[in-house]
Amino acid sequence: MNFQTPIGSALPRDRAKRLLAGRGQFVDDIQLPRMLHLAFVRSPYPHARIRSIDSTEAAAMPGVVRVVTAADLTDLAESWRGTHGLFPNLKVPEQSMLATGVARWQGEAVAAVVARSRAEAEDAAEQVVVDWEELPHVGDAETALADDTQPLHEDLGDNLAFEAEVKQGDTALAFRDAHLVIERQFRFNRHTGVSLEPRGLVADYDPASNRLTVHQSHQTPHQQQDLYARLLDIPEQNVRVHCPDVGGAFGLKHHLYPDELAACALSKLLRRPIKFIADRLESFLADIHCRDHSVTARMAFSADGDILGMEVDDLFHAGAYSQYPRSSIAEGNQIIRLCGIPYRHEHYRAAVRMAYLNKSLLGHIRSVGHPIACAVTEQLVDLGARELGLDPVALRQSAYLRDDDFPMTSPGGIGLERLSFRGCLDRALERIDVNTFRREQNQLRDKGIYRGIGFATFVDLTSIGPEYYGEGGQHISAQETCLLRLEASGGIRCYTGATDQGQGIDTGIQQVIAGVVGVSADDVKVNSGDSELCPVGGGSWGSRGAALAGEAALRAGRELRGNILNIAGVLLQKPAVELDIRDGSVVDANSGVAHMSLGDVAEVGHFKPYMVPDDVSADLTVTGRYASRDRMFLPANGLHVAIVDVDTDTGLIDFQRYLVVHDCGRILNPLLVEEQIRGGVVQGIGGALYEEFIYDDDGYLCNGTLADYLVPMAAEMPDIEVEHLETPTKTSELGAKGAGEAGTTGAMGAILNAVNDALAPFDVILSEVPLTPPRILRALGKI
């Protein structure tokens, strides 16, 4: 068909062409919107200079709309630096959407191809000719910090990105007077968060209104709105980021990625919607990674098993840049502040160094730094008990912080409310008879079966307060706001700044509102993940949803309830305190007799406000806000217990039992919390036994597919038992703490201790994860 004017328009032909130029699908010679697809040319080298890029052949291929390099995008978006104001000595290089001059990790994007389909874009990307000059690569932090290693970023002078030290007391004195000193070198190898749904977005820029709409698989829509607005120079009120149900995130989807910003910039350049979905190889090469720490730690004991002091030295790296906007500092910073935290000790020193080198960026993956601090501490405690001839359970019972120690500030500088270390251990001992286990363990050893038990006590720093990012200069909200609106029908519509990645926070908020107002959960509709419609919030990360968004929902629900009863009291000529809301109806508080529905109240509030005096609070659209002040974190705690068999001929590990006892304050929905714990344990098992990026001597990734990067599968997973204690926080009325990362935090330490307990007859100790069969067999001297 040959349309002479746009469908549904009476505009003159030349004006329509001007308005719609560059928008995509042709109708006659007038263009209508059509989505384009994006693929990237990525560096095959860990470190290489880009001498030139020839896109002539690629640009001529079928379906190709545009091929761009860094020079083409310079004026479209600003570069950035992953700084953090709380760490002023952090040295940070400049980063941009595409590599300029030098590619600094295998997988860094150097050019982008936009085409009608992803297949056409990928075909064209293969025809982009890059003249590379391969440069020496740096693949580990120790080499990166050597005096004779060239700096990755010349303007920084060297590869030391950051160093810090935390001290309390006199560790030299503690170690001098110790009856026993246990020292170990630990290695925690590199892996990532393998979400079922990879990163992806559709960016749609409208030049007529200078408006950018982004549909993205992401955890923090308001953060992204702010970043896209500032970096692309678009008024923030014209940017909308919509993050609907997200298929897993685990922390890797709460950063800014260069390829995702490039998609937005190209939509602005071409004035057409752009879609980018990372494939699995791209995910392994370009997603945020985690761990990759080398830790030396030692612990001083008295003859009775008292912990006298602890020293920790952590060496890790940020990758090629510091991730933006949160920086790459958090893992190391958490480790030096969390080691030894469950135990009484006066003397503590912990130091961290972070380097730059030729790998993808290190960032925040579930339970940032916590599993390392837990594993280091718990292995030293176990080994101390072994050398002293003490029961590791009894040593923990004696060494734990006690109820009368709280509130306190830990040696690492963490403010602690009352935590339930002894309570969690006592609950675990009710479920597991350790004396019976030891008898059976000895009997099994006589049969050549090597079974071990491992305990790991942990603290989780949940619900980061505004002092961390707000004071650090990042536009990352650490508060939550909930907006509620009573509809004319009597239903309630909720808008929250939290987001749901499968953890069920929408359901938790729904329950809080329903319970506070007095309606069925089915009468509450929760809307989340939309930066335009929802109030400013931080999204979901760092185990914060229930503690912050739940409290905001409680406050909003209470205000809405009060206003509903105020209106009902006016209509019924009764004091509001004599009324209640039950099952969606206003009733007499004493007799329970129903007076009117919420729809009746809404009819007056919305359409007949003249019936309510001006001095009566009667707003049926309310907001509740919560930001826990004067604290950096909201600590929760718990205990993992793993029982495993180790096959000393194959090196394989078989779970016999797994128990988590967890205290996250008041629990909103036990089923959701239990499944969060179980999912976290599975991810923790992945890091403990399976997941590891393997690089060859030249710095090339060797296992970039799910065929050779191992993740936990259902067949290998144990039946994970979960027990709860509830020690509500006093910082909020709801009393909830975070729960999303607790399953991951303790898994590595519990499994390490269980394996070492199983192998105690062989006098071997493993301190490197993942605990792969070759590592176990090498420790046993069998390969």
Q: Tell me the pLDDT tens digit for each residue of 135-164.
A: 999 999 999 999 999 999 999 999 999 999
| 22-53 tens-digit pLDDT | 443 433 344 544 899 999 999 999 999 999 99
DSSP assignment string, 17-57? HHHHTTSEEEETTEEEE--EEEEEEE-SSSSEEEEEEE-HH
Spell out where 556-650 has E strands. 579-582, 585-588, 594-597, 621-626, 634-646
pLDDT digits (tens, 9 = 90+) for 91-107: 999 999 999 999 999 99
Distance in angstroms (rounded) separating the CA atoms of residues 442 and 445: 5
Find, among 736, 82, 734, 85, the residue nearest to 466 by Cα: 85
Distances, alpha carbon 629 to alpha carbons 322, 467, 538, 541, 595, in Å: 28, 8, 15, 18, 41
What residues does 703 pair with on adjacent strands?
Answer: none
Rg (CA), the chain: 29
pLDDT exceeds cutoff 80 at 641: yes
CB neighbourhood size of 575 (10 A): 10
Predicted pLDDT at 66: 97
The CA-based angle 499-502-505, given to 5 degrees, is 50
* Cα torsion 761, 762, 768, 770: sign: negative
CB 658 within 8 Å of CB 645: no
Rounded to 5 degrees, φ, ψ at 101 are: 85, -50
Nearest one of 272, 262, 260, 263 to 207, comparing CA atoms: 272
In order of 45, 78, 384, 473, 493, the CA distances from 95 in angstroms are 18, 9, 46, 18, 41
Q: In whole angstroms, what is the distance from residue 75 CA to residue 82 CA?
A: 20
Region 629-635: mean pLDDT is: 84
Q: Which residues pair with 458 in a beta bridge?
A: 638
Mean pLDDT of 641-662: 98
Tokens of 149: 């290693």
Average pLDDT in the 603-625 region? Answer: 96
Question: Is the separation of the CB atoms in 91 and 163 below 8 Å?
Answer: no
Q: How many CB atoms lie within 10 A of CB 296?
A: 15
16 pLDDT more than 70 = no
In angstroms, the CA 94 to CA 669 distance is 44
Average pLDDT, rounded, for the chain: 94
**What is the reported pLDDT for 162?**
98
Confidence of residue 188 (pLDDT cuts 50, 70, 90): very high
- Per-residue pLDDT tens for 397-449? 999 999 999 999 999 999 999 999 999 999 999 999 999 999 999 999 999 99
Which among 760, 749, 740 has a CA at the least distance from the CA of 642?
A: 749
The backbone torsions φ and ψ at residue 264, rounded to the nearest 5 degrees and listed phi first, read -65, -45
Q: How many CA atoms lie within 13 A of 155 on its CB side?
A: 5
- Gap between the Cα atoms of 701 and 44, Å rounded: 10
170's CB contacts (< 8 A; 6+ apart) are 347
- Separation of alpha carbons 378 and 452, rounded Å: 15
Alpha-carbon distance values, 728 to 16, 209, 365, 667 (Å): 62, 49, 26, 9
* CA–CA gap between residue 724 and residue 716 (Å, rounded): 25
Q: CB of 665 within 8 A of CB of 545?
A: no
